[in-house]
Amino acid sequence: MTDAPSTKPIPEWLRNPLHLWDLGSLAERITTADTERVFPGRRGDGPFVEMLRSSVAENLQHMREYLLGTVDLIALDLKEPVRFARKQAEIGSSQNALQHSYRLGIQLAIEDWGAIVTEEGTRQGLAAATVSAVLLANVARMLEYSDAVQGLVAAEFADQEAELRRTGEQIREQIVLDLLNRSDPVATPDFISVLGYDLSHMHLAVQVSGIAHSEATRIAHDLRRCSGAGGLLPLRTGAAETVFWLGRPRSWPGASVEAILSQARLRGLTLSVTRPAAGLPGLRQTYRELAEMAKLRIHSLTIDPVLHYPDVRLDVLLLQAPEAARRFVEDELGPLAEDSPSADRLRQTVVASYNFGSHVQTAMALGVHEHTVRNRLRRAEELLGHSLGERRTELQIALRLRATMGRPPHGAPDTAGRPAERGRQRLREPIASMRA
């Protein structure tokens, strides 16, 4: 609305008829037409119809002033049209309905004013060509006004709609946080209409990291479609952190969960997925599982971008006390925990030997000769100070922790090849209890 008007005000011979134009009667006709053809569902809504009538009446008054040349488009001070646009956004009306009502209104106004112009031109004995030219110029000026006002009210409608959306999201997020943090019984059906999500369903929680909320929401909708989920409940937990729950009425098939994991890997996402759980207790459980996986990402140096809780549940358990876990790795592995290519090869070989159970299968899995496997395992036992069959459970746990956490950053083990005996006796009883 910064452009100067491209048409001129009406000629002198039309100024008096314009002053006498019965805008009240025209406003009633436009209001009735809008109510019947654009907002039929609001015919019995007295306050809405009155607001529409006030908007139409003010617009007609401004348009008359614009035809007279007493106001320009930049100086327009719209009150009722703006109020009505915001009301339409509040009640969920569409931009199309808003624009339709303006098109209908300007059409009726042009027809009404056109009849007045023609009648006045005939009364004054003006040439038909003169009257037609003036009428065309008037119509152009009326359309200029209508276009400018439609742009203003459309922007107001969009701003109100965005504000309502933000407010609605904030309300839903606060409700979800309250439900997650409270422990008293809750009648979950009461929240369906507010949240747009059935809390009694079987929930699968997903956390997307490193992506803006708007993009994460689009991803959530994609994952809902590919997994066949029915419900979707989002929760913004940070500037680049979004949690959302996908709901199904009953169980979650393994294929549906795998579809989510596959899509996440295909897109290169940093994403955590929980186990399915039902009802409000399940919602809270899945949220705790996401928190546990988030903590795992902090302490782990080699964690995968895509996590599925059942796959890392043991790691989560082992890292409940990170400092104790680091000491355990130091004490159990000794020099075998070193951050070197040779130590890494030894650890991989030990893990493979536990998994496959024979030197031949281990060699095949690692792509090396059987003698190489024997030599590596012998060297590992030298560094440990005991056979691989001894303290097997402790060794497997320590190797898994070492793979998850990386090398302990402090208190590095003795690297001179001496057996790792420090604290061994201190750890025997707690580990034996855990094994039992």
How high is the pLDDT of residue 44? 87
User: Virtual CA dihedral for 379, 383, 384, 387, nearest 10 degrees?
Assistant: 30
Which residue pairs from 51-54 have beta carbons closer than 8 angstroms and sit at least 24 positions apart in sequence? 51/80, 51/83, 51/84, 51/87, 52/84, 52/101, 53/27, 53/28, 54/80, 54/83, 54/84
pTM: 0.53
Tokens found for residue 403: 């793979």
pLDDT tens track of the chain, all 436 residues? Answer: 344 445 788 999 999 999 999 999 999 999 999 999 999 988 888 999 999 999 999 999 999 999 999 988 888 889 999 999 988 888 778 889 999 999 999 999 999 999 999 999 999 999 999 999 999 999 999 999 999 999 999 998 888 888 877 777 778 888 888 889 877 777 767 677 778 899 999 999 999 999 988 899 999 999 999 999 989 999 988 888 999 999 999 899 999 999 999 999 999 999 999 999 999 999 999 999 999 999 888 877 678 899 999 998 888 887 777 788 888 888 889 999 888 899 889 999 999 998 898 889 999 999 999 999 999 999 989 998 899 888 898 888 888 888 877 765 444 443 333 333 333 332 333 223 223 2
How high is the pLDDT of residue 91? 79
Tell me how crowded residue 234 is: count the other CB atoms within 10 A of its CB. Answer: 21
Q: Which of 52, 63, 45, 46 is nearest to 28 (CA)?
A: 52
| Residue-wise burial string across 188-198, b where 16 or more C-beta atoms lie within 10 A, e elsewhere | beebeeebebb
Which residue in the block uniquely carries the two structure tokens 């609305």?
1
How high is the pLDDT of residue 421? 37
Task: State how beta strands 270-273 and 306-308 pair.
Answer: parallel
Secondary structure letter of residue 121 according to DSSP = H
Q: Which of 61, 40, 161, 158 is nearest to 109 (CA)?
A: 61
Q: Rounded CA gap, 160 and 179, in Å?
A: 28
Question: What is the DSSP track for 275-329?
Answer: --EEHHHHHHHHHHHHHHHHHHHHH-SS--SEEEHHHHHHHHHHTTSHHHHHHHH
